[in-house]
Amino acid sequence: MNVRLTQEQKIRILNSQDVYNVMQQILLRENKIGRGQEHFWVVGLDSQNKIQFIELLGLGTHNRVNANPPDVFRMAIYKQAGKLILVHNHPAGDLKPSEQDHNFTDRMLKVGRLINIEVLDHLIINEESYLSFDDQGIMKQLASSGQYEIVEREKLEIEKWKARMEAERDAKEEVARKMKEKGMDEKLIQELTGLKLWDIRRL
């Protein structure tokens, strides 16, 4: 659900305090019962770090809300936002990030890296204060954690595919070489093997 922003809230973000100031206002709009649930928001920024949108992705129980990469990045892709800040509240007031918070942020960071949308920070907020993963150095730790390295796995798959293609090409060239030795026409060899004519001629 897209959160309606006032003109004053469509600000350029310079630091985590700027994000919290806007998000605190949004949290305090909720009634007391609503504030007892965990909320998860995505803040989308343009190239100048100006807020483009704030989307409420989910409402959870008092200590959990679920979100996955398609949900998190959908609006950013639609609005062509190059940067995101993740925000969720801890209704009990404790701002300490859980292991689940770390893992979730790490996963979103790596997915963002793959699709060229930078996840700048993750804020945990309550009605009076906040904790910024970036200010605490957590984002930097997660960036080099080695977990959720989607790019590395894809690189490995590309290397396997490349090796398979090279092996197939070598096999075709061997067949074409034997055909040439038997005096077969080059154009017929090309038709039968799928190799380019200049590849056949250099054999």
Q: According to the 3-state scheme, what is the secondary structure of 17-69?
A: HHHHHHHHHHHHHCCCCHHHCCEEEEEEECCCCEEEEEEEEEECCCCCCCCCH
Q: Are residues 88 and 137 in the same domain?
A: yes
Domain CATH code at residue 64:
3.40.140.10
The boundaries of the domain holding residue 67 are: 7-148
Q: Number of helices (H) and strands (E) in the chain: give both, helices first.
A: 7, 5
91 versus 78: the higher-pLDDT residue is: 91
pTM for the whole structure? 0.69
pLDDT at 19: 95
Q: Are residues 92 and 183 in the same domain?
A: no
Q: Are residues 30 and 59 in the same domain?
A: yes
Q: Which residue type occupies 49? A: N
pLDDT tens per residue, range 44-61: 999 899 999 999 988 775
pLDDT tens per residue, range 113-140: 888 899 999 999 999 999 999 999 999 9
Q: Are residues 79 and 175 in the same domain?
A: no
Which of 116, 132, 148 is where one domain is finished?
148
Number of structural domains the chain divides into: 2
Q: Are residues 159 and 142 in the same domain?
A: no
Q: Are residues 26 and 86 in the same domain?
A: yes
Whether the pLDDT of residue 151 is over 60: the answer is no
Contact (CB, 8 A) for 161 and 170: no
Q: Are residues 193 and 123 in the same domain?
A: no
User: Is 55 among the domain residues?
Assistant: yes
User: Is 1 among the domain residues?
Assistant: no
Q: Are residues 75 and 116 in the same domain?
A: yes
